[in-house]
C-alpha cells in the first residue's frame, strides 16, 4: 500500500503543527498546506477592495466569490507554498503587518469558514497533501486516512512562542503570550462552528516533553503502520 495521500494535522497554537507538517510534507514530497493562509488571503482581498473587515456580510460574500489556489512553491525564495488569489501571486503579501491586524475577525465569521472549507476540500482531495489547521480532521478532511492531533501544555506552548519571538529579535513577554494563548484556546474550543478538538479517530501526540525529531519519529511510525 502507498503512504496515506491525505494527512491531517490539528492542534492549538505552538503545539508543533507547522514545524512537523512542513518537515513531513518535504520528506513525502507532498504539498504542505497551512489552512490559516486562506483566511489571510480573504483578508488581503478585502483590504485591496476597501472592504471593512468588521463588515461580516461583505467579507463573507467576498469569501464566497474569491478563488484561492495553494500549490507547491513556484519560486525558490524561501516560501513554503505559493498562494494565488484570483490568479495573482500574493504569497508574501499575506505576511504583511496589516494582514496580522485584520485577520482575526475574518477567520471567526461562520460564513467565511464555510466558504473556505469548500476551497480547502477542493485542494485537499487532490491528494499528496499534509494539511495543517484546527478543524482539518473534524471538518475539512474527515476522510483523511491519517489524522494527527498535536498538543502540549499551554505553559510550554507559550514558552515556545516567547523564545521564537526573541530569536526573531522581537520584544516578547511570556506572561502576555500565556494569557493570550489561554484566551485563544478558550475561543477555539468553545466556538459553535468547527470547535478545536481531536477527531474521534485522530492519534493524539503530546509534544510537551518531546523534541522535533522525537515527534517526527512517532509520526513516521504511524505512517508505516498504515502502510503495512
- pLDDT, one tens digit per residue, over 139-193 is 999 999 999 999 999 999 999 999 999 998 989 999 999 998 998 888 888 887 7
Residue 41 lies in a domain: yes
Residue 225 lies in a domain: no
Nearest to 194 by CA among 123, 138, 120: 138
Average pLDDT over residues 55-64: 98
Confidence at 228, pLDDT banded by 50, 70, 90 = low
The reported pLDDT for the residue numbered 155 is 97
Average pLDDT over residues 35-54: 97
Burial of 90 (0-12, 13-18, 19+ CB in 10 A): buried
83 and 145 inside one domain: no
Query: What is the chain's percent helix, strand, coil content, to nearest 5?
Result: 50, 15, 35
Does the pLDDT value for residue 124 go beyond 90?
yes
Question: Which of helix, strand or coil describes residue 48?
Answer: helix
- Show which of 126, 156, 173 is a domain's final residue: 126
Average pLDDT over residues 119-147: 96
Structural domain harbouring 169: 1-16+134-217
Residue 164 lies in a domain: yes
**pTM greater than 0.75 (yes/no):** yes
The reported pLDDT for the residue numbered 27 is 96
Does the pLDDT value for residue 194 go beyond 90?
no
- The CATH number assigned to the domain holding 213 equals 3.40.50.300
Residue 25 lies in a domain: no
- Show which of 60, 94, 126 is a domain's final residue: 126
- Show which of 126, 151, 178 is a domain's final residue: 126
194 and 151 inside one domain: yes
The reported pLDDT for the residue numbered 192 is 79
Residues 6+ apart with CB under 8 A from 53: 43, 46, 47, 59, 102, 105, 106
Residue 156 has, within 13 A of its CA and on its CB side, a CA count of 13
Give the separation between CA 225 and CA 228, rounded to whole angstroms. Answer: 5
107 and 160 inside one domain: no
Percent of the chain with pLDDT over 90: 83
Structurally, the chain folds into a number of domains equal to 2
The reported pLDDT for the residue numbered 158 is 95
Q: Spell out a b/e string for 124-161, using b for 16 or more CB atoms within 10 Å of the CB, else e.
A: beeebbbbbbbbbbbbbbeebebbbbbbbebebbbbbb
82 and 44 inside one domain: yes
Nearest to 24 by CA among 160, 225, 217, 228: 217
Mean of the per-residue pLDDT values of the chain: 94
Residue 83 lies in a domain: yes
Amino acid at each position: 500500500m502507498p503512504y496515506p495521500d491525505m494527512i491531517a494535522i490539528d492542534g492549538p497554537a505552538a503545539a508543533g503543527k507547522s514545524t512537523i507538517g512542513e518537515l513531513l510534507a518535504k520528506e513525502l514530497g507532498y504539498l504542505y498546506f497551512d489552512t490559516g493562509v486562506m483566511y489571510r488571503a480573504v483578508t488581503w482581498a478585502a483590504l485591496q477592495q476597501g472592504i471593512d473587515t468588521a463588515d461580516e456580510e461583505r467579507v463573507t460574500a467576498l469569501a464566497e466569490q474569491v478563488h484561492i489556489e495553494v500549490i507547491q512553491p513556484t519560486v525558490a525564495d524561501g516560501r513554503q507554498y505559493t498562494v494565488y488569489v484570483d490568479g495573482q501571486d500574493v504569497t508574501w503579501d499575506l505576511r504583511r503587518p496589516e494582514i496580522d491586524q485584520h485577520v482575526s475577525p475574518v477567520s471567526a465569521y461562520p460564513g467565511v469558514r464555510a466558504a473556505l472549507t469548500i476551497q480547502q476540500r477542493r485542494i485537499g482531495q487532490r491528494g499528496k497533501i499534509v494539511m495543517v489547521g484546527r478543524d482539518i480532521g473534524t471538518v475539512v478532511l474527515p476522510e483523511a486516512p491519517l489524522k494527527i492531533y498535536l498538543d502540549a501544555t499551554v505553559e510550554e506552548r507559550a514558552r515556545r512562542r516567547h523564545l521564537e519571538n526573541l530569536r526573531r529579535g522581537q520584544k516578547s513577554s511570556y506572561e502576555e503570550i500565556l494569557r493570550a494563548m489561554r484566551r485563544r484556546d478558550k475561543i477555539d474550543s468553545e466556538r459553535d462552528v468547527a470547535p478545536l478538538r481531536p477527531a474521534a479517530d485522530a492519534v493524539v501526540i503530546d509534544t510537551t516533553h518531546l523534541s522535533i525529531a522525537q515527534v517526527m519519529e512517532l509520526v513516521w511510525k504511524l505512517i508505516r503502520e498504515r502502510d503495512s
